[in-house]
A and B are shown apart, each in its own frame.
Chain A
Amino acid sequence: MERFLRIDRRIIFAIITVAVIVSLILRFELPIPPSEPVQGVYEKIESLPKGSHVMIAFDYDPSSKEELQPMAIAFLHHCFSRELKVIGMTHYTGAPGLADQAMTSVASQYQKKNGEDYTFLGYKPGGASLIINMGENLYSAFPKDFYGNDTTTLPVLQGVDSLREIDFLFDLAAGTTIETWIVFGKEKYKFEFGAGCTAVMGPDMYPFLQSKQLAGLLGGLKGAAEYEALVGKKANAVSGMRPQSVVHVIIILFVIFGNIVYFTSGRARRA
Chain B
Amino acid sequence: MRKDSNFFILVGSIGLFVCINIFLMASGKLPFSSDGFGIILGAGLTLAVYSFLYKDNPAFKIAENLYVGVSLGYTIIITWFNFLKPDLYDPLIVPMFSKAAEKAPQYALIFPSLLGIFMLLRFSRKLSWLSRWTFAFVVGLGAGVSIPRVISAFILEQIKPSLHPVFSGGETILSSINTLLIMLGVISVLIYFIFSVEHKGAIGKMSKIGIWFLMISFGASFGYTVMGRLSLLIGRIQFLLKDWLGILQ
| A183: interface (CB < 8 Å) | yes
Residue of B74, B152, B217, B231 near A199 (CB, 8 A) is: B231
| B31: interface (CB < 8 Å) | no
Flag the segment in B3-11, B19-27, B56-64, B157-165 that touches A: B157-165
Q: A21-B241, A219-B224 are in contact. Are A211 and B53 (CB under 8 A)?
A: no
Nearest Cβ in chain A — how far from B19, in angstroms?
20
Residue of A16, A96, A183, A240 near B231 (CB, 8 A) is: A240
Per-residue CB contact flags for chain A residues 147-176 toward chain B (1 = under 8 Å, else 0) read 000000000000000000000000000000
A contact set with B: CB distance below 8 Å: 10, 13, 16-17, 20-21, 24-25, 65-67, 93-94, 96, 122-125, 128-129, 132, 143-144, 146, 179, 182-184, 186-188, 198-200, 202-204, 207, 210-213, 219-222, 236, 239-240, 243-244, 247-248, 251
Q: Flag if A199 contacts B224 (CB, 8 Å).
A: yes
Interface residues on B, range: 35 or more
Tally of A-B residue pairs with Cβ under 8 A? 132
Q: Which residues of A contact B231 (CB under 8 A)?
A: 66-67, 199, 220-221, 240, 244
Residue of A17, A25, A94, A132 near B248 (CB, 8 A) is: A25
Q: Flag if A10 contacts B53 (CB, 8 Å).
A: yes
Pairs across A and B, CB under 8 Å, 16 listed: A94-B75, A128-B146, A143-B87, A146-B82, A184-B149, A187-B157, A188-B149, A199-B225, A199-B231, A200-B228, A203-B221, A221-B234, A239-B238, A240-B231, A244-B231, A248-B230
Nearest Cβ in chain B — how far from A237, in angstroms?
9
Q: Flag if B237 contacts A187 (CB, 8 Å).
A: no
**Given known contacts A210-B161, A220-B224, A220-B228, what 12 new A-B pairs fall within 8 Å (CB)?**
A10-B53, A13-B53, A16-B230, A16-B233, A24-B248, A66-B231, A124-B82, A129-B145, A200-B224, A213-B157, A221-B234, A222-B227
- Which residue of chain B has its CB nearest to the CB of A61? B71
Residue of B145, B153, B235 near A240 (CB, 8 A) is: B235
Q: A94-B74, A221-B227 are in contact. Are A66 and B241 (CB under 8 A)?
A: no
Bound Cα distance from A203 to B237, whole angstroms: 26
